[in-house]
Chain A
Amino acid sequence: KAGVTQTPRYLIKTRGQQVTLSCSPISGHRSVSWYQQTPGQGLQFLFEYFSETQRNKGNFPGRFSGRQFSNSRSEMNVSTLELGDSALYLCASSSRTGGIEQYFGPGTRLTVT
């Protein structure tokens, strides 16, 4: 099976702009979770989607949002970008019903200038 894929892999944005990141889970996986990885804060949970519904949410401001489509692909949006949003954004997919293991994609490296 193909692994989790994320696009784009690298992104440079200016403060105040918005950005949309995409994640395609492993075929058959219906759960997609998003994480932010920074040197200072480590890996932090953003949210999880299952069957197009947000099931869990981390402690991030409302500028961070997401959605999931009927084919399980997910997008994450960050509005009004701040310098502190520079990070590696990782998504992970899980079967949820067949297993709880989460498998990560390669990430999108977002740089905000």
Chain B
Amino acid sequence: GENVEQHPSTLSVQEGDSAVIKCTYSDSASNYFPWYKQELGKRPQLIIDIRSNVGEKKDQRIAVTLNKTAKHFSLHITETQPEDSAVYFCAASREYKLSFGAGTTVTVRA
């Protein structure tokens, strides 16, 4: 089955700096890569996604890049704000089955 590895497990950044989270996947048939943000006690919220036929996608302060050859994808958050503090999960999907990374706890220091 699909195996998704996510790094780092924790990330502390100064407000205004950038944050980068990286994920690798094992199944070359995976074709959809969403990112979820989960605040404490809340549901995972889809923040951005990318399909295998696209190399990069941006939405305001967040962007995702995908390298199919190397089987890795990354989340970039620019100009971080305190409300960006949360756990972020990457996932790889094949036929509606999401395989998640272990999560990255992001803390934005004021």
Residue contact A55 to B95, C-beta cutoff 8 Å: yes
Q: Hey, what's the 0/1 contact readout for A78-107 against B, CB within 8 Å counting as 1?
A: 000000000000101010100011111111
Contact of B93 among A43, A100, A107 (CB under 8 A): A100
What interface size band does chain B fall in? 20 to 34
User: How many Å from the CB of B82 to the closest CB on chain A?
Assistant: 23
Query: Known contacts A31-B96, A45-B98, A55-B95: does B103 contact A102 (CB below 8 Å)?
Result: no
Q: Does B61 contact A (CB under 8 A)?
A: no
Which residues on B sit within 8 Å (CB–CB) of A31? 96
Distance between B109 CB and nearest chain A CB, rounded to angstroms: 24
A101 pairs with B43, CB closer than 8 A: no
From A42, A56, A102, A104, B95 is in contact (CB under 8 Å) with A56
Given A59-B1, A90-B43, A90-B44: A45 and B103 interface contact (C-beta under 8 Å): no
Interchain nearest-CB distance for A44 vs B (Å): 8
Contact present for B96 and A96 (CB under 8 Å): yes
Q: Is the C-beta of B97 less than 8 angstroms from some C-beta in chain A?
A: yes
Q: Which of chain A's residues 45-61 have a Cβ closer than 8 Å to chain B? A: 45, 48, 50, 55-56, 58-59
A33 within 8 A of B: yes
Are the CB atoms of A101 and B98 closer together than 8 Å? no
Contact residues in A for B95 (Cβ distance below 8 Å): 55-56
Contacting residues, chain B, for A58 (C-beta < 8 A): 97
- Assess the B96–A104 pair: CB atoms within 8 A: no
Of the listed residues B32, B44, B45, B49, the one surrounded by the most CB atoms of chain A closer than 10 A to its CB is B44
B85-108 CB mask vs A (1 if < 8 Å, else 0) is 000010101011111111100000
